[in-house]
């Protein structure tokens, strides 16, 4: 006997049989979320969530609703984009420290994020209702599995699109750093430099300290100090003759070159090379023999910082006083400029290292800088206090002094290796566009090959002139030559390194 059943009836019958024969464990754990707990407090983390399907009718509806709400919140958190490093730092900074651009960006992002969160919370209410219905009727859930799968895939696609959109927005603003705080205007007590440039050259340059009721005198006119105060650094100030003078703050390089001197100074080019040789870092303890005018002392003071110290020794009392005055004058200018104290980390002593063994007792130095006429005489007393592997840099003016130093090392058999003997030459150049006598720019002329001469006559003079006020890039020839005023030889630098026998 053959039973004829319609095709639709066979599909419904097979679905009912598959639902009733499936084990209950298959429907028990349907919604599982990852566990991403973090061990650190006060950080944004994803909390653990696990919703289990239960056939027990005795479970309260309130517990099921709470679990559903927890799952929805977790999915909402997972959809929100993570904070960028800039946003994390900006949340910890006070409002006054943020730039206007960053504050405007934050105000633009907050309403957008709030609207997005409200839309996601409103949209998540419908999946919650559907979830509760599916938990109450597993048969309906099984019959509509395909449609739920399609819906979930669409939802995932929407979430991925939202995350991509937020990522693109993040990439566009991730490098917007807050603007650096502007320095204060020029105040009384600061050291300034006045410069006058003409035709690419410095015609006038002078360092002065800003004081009340004082005038800056020059052949280009007079500038009152009271007119410079409360002005931004790096501005042009016109003199009584109408000449623009460039006013800027003096750097340590400028101060060393233009401060009052006793003996010759260690030029910045040589001092920087000595600092690199000795590898002086913050917190080091350095010995300087030969204070001079205090140039090398200032560079060492800045290198060691507030945690380090410099012991500066000189045999001449007048040299030592000049070094101390220059050091104190720079500290006073720094206080007026920055509002904080320059580190008081230099200890000046009037002594001779050939005999002053008690001054170096119970001291250990990370580096030694010698600027003496006969440095080989103090090395036997200095080297025992130098750290193993540290460097002793020697500043010598003549090559004959270098020979005497090497001969002294050979005779005394000190544990020192002579690694380098060199000088630091610097050659300034003048580079500028080629100009005609009337002040107009010259123009580059291309060679003419296999061309007939012009019938209108020679127009080479007209071709050399460029009537345009701003010629195109690459159309102006340049002239380069060494500067007529060059800094000649200053000193030989010798690098000695202590070794352990």
In tens, the pLDDT along 325-373 reads: 999 999 999 999 999 999 999 999 999 999 888 899 989 999 999 999 9
CATH topology of domain 191-250: Vcp-like ATPase; Chain A, domain 2 (3.10.330)
Kindly state the average pLDDT of the residues 240-255: 95
CA distance 59 to 37: 27
The mean of the pLDDT values for the chain is: 75
pLDDT in tens, 19-41: 444 444 444 444 443 443 444 44
Give the residue with greater pLDDT, 173 vs 311.
311
| Rounded Cα distance, 128 and 191, in Å | 72
* Res 43: pLDDT: 43
Chain region(s) in the chain for CATH 3.10.330.20? 191-250
Examine the pLDDT at 415 and tell me if it is beyond 80: yes
What's the rounded Cα separation, in Å, for the pair 296 and 303? 11
Tokens (6 digits) for 45: 């983390």
Percent of the chain residues topping a pLDDT of 90: 45
Whole-angstrom CA distances from 309 to 278, 324, 463 are: 15, 15, 65
The first and second tokens of residue 200, run together, are 């690419």
Q: Which CATH superfamily is domain 269-426+491-498 in?
A: Vaccinia Virus protein VP39 (3.40.50.150)
Q: The tokens of 126 are what?
A: 């419908």
> Which of 335, 370, 337 shows the shortest CA–CA distance to 354?
370
**pTM of the predicted protein model:** 0.60
Range 153-159 average pLDDT:
44
pLDDT band at 413 (very low <50, low <70, confident <90, very high): confident
CATH 3.40.50.150 in the chain: give the residue spans: 269-426+491-498
d(CA 273, CA 394): 11
Q: C-alpha 233: how far from its chain's center?
A: 22
- Rounded Cα distance between 103 and 86, Å, is 12
CA–CA distances in Å: residue 205 to residues 114, 223, 437: 59, 14, 27
Measure CA 272 to chain center. Answer: 21
Of residues 243 and 10, more confidently modeled: 243
């Amino acid at each position: 006997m053959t039973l004829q059943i319609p095709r639709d009836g066979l599909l419904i019958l097979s679905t009912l049989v598959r639902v009733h024969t499936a084990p209950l464990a298959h429907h028990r754990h349907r919604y599982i979320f990852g566990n991403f707990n973090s061990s650190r407090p006060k950080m944004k983390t994803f909390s653990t969530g696990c919703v289990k399907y239960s056939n027990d009718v005795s479970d309260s509806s309130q517990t099921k609703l709470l679990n559903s709400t927890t799952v929805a919140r977790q999915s909402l958190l997972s959809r929100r984009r993570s904070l960028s490093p800039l946003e994390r730092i900006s949340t910890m900074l006070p409002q006054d420290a943020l730039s206007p651009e960053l504050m405007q960006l934050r105000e633009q992002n907050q309403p957008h994020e709030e609207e997005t969160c409200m839309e996601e919370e409103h949209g998540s209410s419908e999946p919650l209702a559907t979830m509760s219905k599916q938990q109450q009727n597993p048969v309906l859930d099984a019959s509509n599995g395909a449609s739920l799968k399609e819906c979930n895939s669409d939802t995932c696609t929407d979430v991925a699109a939202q995350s991509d959109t937020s990522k693109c927005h993040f990439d566009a603003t991730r490098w917007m750093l807050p603007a650096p705080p502007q320095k204060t205007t020029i105040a009384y007590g600061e050291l300034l430099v006045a410069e006058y440039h003409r035709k690419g050259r410095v015609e006038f340059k002078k360092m002065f300290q800003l004081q009340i009721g004082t005038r800056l005198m020059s052949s280009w006119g007079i500038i009152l100090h009271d007119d410079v105060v409360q002005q931004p650094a790096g501005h042009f100030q016109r003199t009584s003759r109408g000449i623009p003078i460039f006013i800027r703050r003096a750097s340590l390089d400028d101060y060393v070159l233009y401060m009052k001197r006793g003996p010759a100074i260690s030029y910045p080019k040589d001092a920087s090379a000595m600092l690199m040789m000795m590898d002086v870092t913050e917190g080091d303890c350095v010995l300087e023999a030969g204070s001079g005018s205090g140039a090398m002392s200032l560079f060492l003071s800045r290198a060691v910082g507030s945690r380090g110290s410099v012991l500066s020794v000189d045999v001449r009392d007048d040299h030592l006083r000049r070094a101390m005055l220059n050091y104190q004058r720079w500290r006073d200018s720094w206080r007026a400029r920055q509002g904080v104290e320059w580190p008081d980390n230099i200890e000046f002593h009037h002594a001779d290292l050939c005999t002053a063994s008690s001054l170096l007792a119970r001291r250990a130095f990370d580096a030694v800088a010698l600027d003496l006429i006969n440095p080989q005489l103090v090395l036997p007393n200095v080297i025992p206090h130098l750290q193993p592997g540290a460097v002793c840099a020697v500043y010598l003016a003549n090559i004959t002094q270098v020979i005497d130093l090497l001969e002294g090392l050979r005779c005394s058999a000190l544990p020192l290796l002579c690694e380098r003997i060199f000088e630091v030459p610097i050659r300034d150049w003048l580079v500028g566009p080629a100009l005609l006598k009337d002040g107009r720019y010259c123009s580059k002329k291309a060679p003419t090959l296999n061309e007939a001469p012009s019938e209108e006559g020679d127009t080479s003079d007209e071709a050399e002139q460029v009537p345009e006020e701003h010629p195109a890039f690459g159309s102006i020839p340049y002239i380069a030559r060494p500067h007529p005023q060059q800094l000649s030889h200053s000193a030989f630098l010798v690098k000695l390194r202590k070794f352990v026998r």
